[in-house]
Amino acid sequence: MALIPGLPLAASVVCGLTLALKVKNKAPAFLTLLMLLGAFLLTFLGFRQWGAEGQGAAIVHVLDWVHVNWGFPPSEHLLKFDFSFYMDGLSWLWMLFVTGLASAICLYASEYMSHDVGKGYGRFFAAFALFVFSMACLVMGDNLALLYLGWEGVGLCSYMLIGYFYKKPAAVAAAKKAFIVNRIGDLGLALGIFLIYVTYGTIEYAPLFEMVSKGVDGSGQAMAGTWQSWAIPCLLMVGAFGKSAQFPLYVWLPDAMEGPTPVSALIHAATMVTAGVYLIARMYPLFLADQHHVALNVVAWTGGITALLAATIGMAQFDIKRIMAYSTVSQLGYMFAGLGVLTSTGAAFHVFTHAFFKATLFLSCGAVMHGFAGQLDLRKLSGLWSQPGWRIVTVAMFVGCLNLAGVPFTAGYFSKDMILAEAFTTPGYQALGWLLLATAGLTAYYTFRVFFRVFVGPAHYEPGDELHGHDDDHGHDDAHGHAAAHTSGGDKHSHADAHRHGHGHSGFHPHPPGWAINTVLAVLAVASIVAAGAYFVNKEHHGWVGSMLHASTAAYDAGHYAGHDAGGAAGEAVAHGGFLGYDAHKVMYYVSGVVGAVGILVAFVLHYLGRREAATSKADALLPALGPVARWAQHKWYVDEFYDFVIRTPLKVLAHVFAALDKLLVDGLVDAAGAVPRMLARGLRPSQNGVLQSYATGMAGGLAVILIVVWLMTSLK
């Protein structure tokens, strides 16, 4: 069991050694891949053994860690937690797709990052493997200290990976932004852990959940109605919002696109950004212990608002990779809404399906960026299906788009429907259900807007900026050497030449992906399709994922937890509502299918039907009717500018004020204290000039002064 996180840690160390030894081949990638595949195999075998032994929660002790006694006698108070693993259904579910997807993305990265062999190649895979180790600690730990270690570890590794191209100012700024915004959420998590320890006297899961199930704190007092019962989940919620990019802490995630595309897939598909979902699912008993469900209400509505906000921004962007980033924010909103409306199964199932199809989408976009010299503007790419070597990428993108749009019978369709249906059936959340349903339509539209603009339609392409001398020394995210190898002297033609030649840029030929990228895309596309089958397994628990959560702390038993609805009225939080008088769990299959079909149809009409060039579409004619709204959406509703004006600029001014006070006042007083002795010494220095006549004159003058003083004293008497 210890080898599951141990192998990625060993891979990170080995990659560090290859970097120190200046290895100039792909050894770091394949060593990392081998160890990650080993971790995935061990996870799968451990999962099979766990299932055969009855699917209970198992605690696996690795080594003693922190044992602190104090008080009189010394054993009166105890802070104890070990390096141990808490393996239940939730842990196995997360680790299966974390290790599996990390292995696939590692193979993809071996080709994608080949332009950096001999330079930063080892550094990239060292951080990559360390990221997987940190995520394993976060998921597998049996105490909140180990979870927090992994939590901060993925934050550190994301900083290194997003800012991998450290000579690129935008990448450095994005890395710092991600690190700083996450620190806000991490403070909430840290305070929540402190309050848990103060309240319950432990941060180990087993005794903690036992006390929560009994409704008592560490001293045996009832927790019902206490301020800690709602304060603890609220603090944990803040931590989850930061890591999983929920409003208002979502702004770091789209900028993280400045990192290499494998990093985007690793962070945005199923690992770091789902850590917040995992935290709430793991601590679900604490959230349900609050009779008024204060934190869960906030989680539900924040998730819905985030989903809609990100969708409106995504449908107005032109960078296909950034569109996928905003879709991640939106889908994370769905997951949080699912947790808030008491369908932890729906939220976890959407995490599971999203992991595969979002990785497929990101890596498909990365393949396009890889082959077209960094080009990601959907107005400069079209008809990739007709280009030699791009069929696998197009099919993989199509499968990913079908899932993200929620087309019936896809994995994304089933997982999204579980959340939508529960939103309409849980008392007080019907308005949230309509909001999520509208978001589903927008999602289908902007998803197929990308597909219809880039992968089908008239053949046209223009290379990105990396063709014009912006090589990897400037830190751009692409295999620059491949693009340069397929260019000729015509790569300096003007933008007008691009349109005259039809295919975009005279002399430029796109570089199709190699076997590694195509293999990973094919495997992930198949996995995205097969994942739908999990919905039909163990139907008594709402699918295979539901059966996994049933054997975990994320299980929700409506008969056990009495709660309140969103309006505060007493009652059990069970399904009492519906959709326009119908059973939402039955009718939502058809409703969401129709909504998704409408979104795809609108995208088909506006961005494919009759389009003859890449740069324009019928949607452009609608922009004047929208007035400034379209411009606001393109500028991301000016949220970043608002934060800059309200938070960053005042803090910067305040920092300059304090710097001036420090320099003038604090440093001035210190400097003055040192200046006084110097001035006295400077005044006395002429008296010590080494000239005998001066000393004699001084002695005579001193004697005269003494005589005058004596005379005055005697005369006064």
The answer to whether residue 503 scores a pLDDT higher than 60 is: no
Phi, psi (degrees; rounded to nearest 5) at 61: -85, 130
686 exposed, middle or buried (CB, 10 Å; 0-12, 13-18, 19+)? exposed
Is the torsion defined by CA of 431, 432, 433, 439 positive or negative? Answer: positive
The 10s digit of each residue's pLDDT in 9-27 is 999 999 999 988 888 899 9
Q: Which of 183, 334, 157, 167 is nearest to 252 (CA)?
A: 183
The 10s digit of each residue's pLDDT in 86-130 is 999 999 999 999 999 999 999 999 999 988 887 789 999 999 999
**Cα 225 to Cα 195, 219, 222, 294, 317, distances in angstroms:** 16, 16, 8, 12, 47
The 10s digit of each residue's pLDDT in 156-215 is 999 999 999 999 999 999 999 999 999 999 999 999 999 999 999 999 999 999 999 999
Query: What DSSP string describes 303-366?
Result: HHHHHHHHHHHHTT--BHHHHHHHHHHHHHHHHHHHHHTT-HHHHHHHHHHHHHHHHHHHHHHH
How much is the pLDDT for 10?
96
Cβ atoms of residues 255 and 174 within 8 Å: yes
At 556 the three-state DSSP class reads: coil
Return the percentage of the chain with pLDDT > 70, whole number: 90
The 10s digit of each residue's pLDDT in 375-389 is 999 999 999 999 899
Residues present in the chain in total = 717
Cβ atoms of residues 272 and 152 within 8 Å: no
The answer to whether residue 664 scores a pLDDT higher than 60 is: yes
How much is the pLDDT for 288?
94
The answer to whether residue 573 scores a pLDDT higher than 70 is: no
How much is the pLDDT for 77?
63
The 10s digit of each residue's pLDDT in 511-535 is 899 999 999 999 999 999 999 999 9
How does residue 507 score in pLDDT terms, banded at 50, 70 and 90?
low
The answer to whether residue 505 scores a pLDDT higher than 60 is: no
The answer to whether residue 421 scores a pLDDT higher than 90 is: yes
For residue 85, list its beta bridge partners. Answer: 60, 141
The pTM of the full predicted model, rounded to 2 decimals, is 0.88
Can you tell me the mean pLDDT for 132-153? 96
How much is the pLDDT for 479?
41
Say how many C-beta atoms besides its own lie within 10 A of residue 704's C-beta. 10
How does residue 671 score in pLDDT terms, banded at 50, 70 and 90?
confident
First and final C-alpha spacing in the chain: 101
Rounded (to 5) percent helix, strand, coil in the chain: 70, 5, 25
Return mean pLDDT, the chain.
87
The answer to whether residue 229 scores a pLDDT higher than 80 is: yes
For residue 79, list its beta bridge partners. Answer: 68
Can you tell me the mean pLDDT for 346-361? 94
Residue bearing tokens 């999204």: 416
How does residue 697 score in pLDDT terms, banded at 50, 70 and 90?
confident
Can you tell me the mean pLDDT for 403-430? 93
How does residue 563 score in pLDDT terms, banded at 50, 70 and 90?
very low
How does residue 469 score in pLDDT terms, banded at 50, 70 and 90?
very low
Query: What DSSP string describes 10-54?
Result: HHHHHHHHHHHTT--SSHHHHHHHHHHHHHHHHHHHHHHHHHHTT
Phi, psi (degrees; rounded to nearest 5) at 282: -65, -40
The answer to whether residue 483 scores a pLDDT higher than 90 is: no
The 10s digit of each residue's pLDDT in 246-255 is 999 999 999 9
How much is the pLDDT for 75?
60
How does residue 689 score in pLDDT terms, banded at 50, 70 and 90?
confident
At 217 the three-state DSSP class reads: coil
How does residue 717 score in pLDDT terms, banded at 50, 70 and 90?
low
Identity (one letter) of the amino acid at 329? V
How much is the pLDDT for 497?
41
pLDDT, greater one: 540 or 288: 288
The 10s digit of each residue's pLDDT in 47-63 is 999 988 777 889 999 99
Q: Which of 359, 378, 205 is nearest to 272 (CA)?
A: 359
Cβ atoms of residues 63 and 34 within 8 Å: no
Can you tell me the mean pLDDT for 59-83? 81
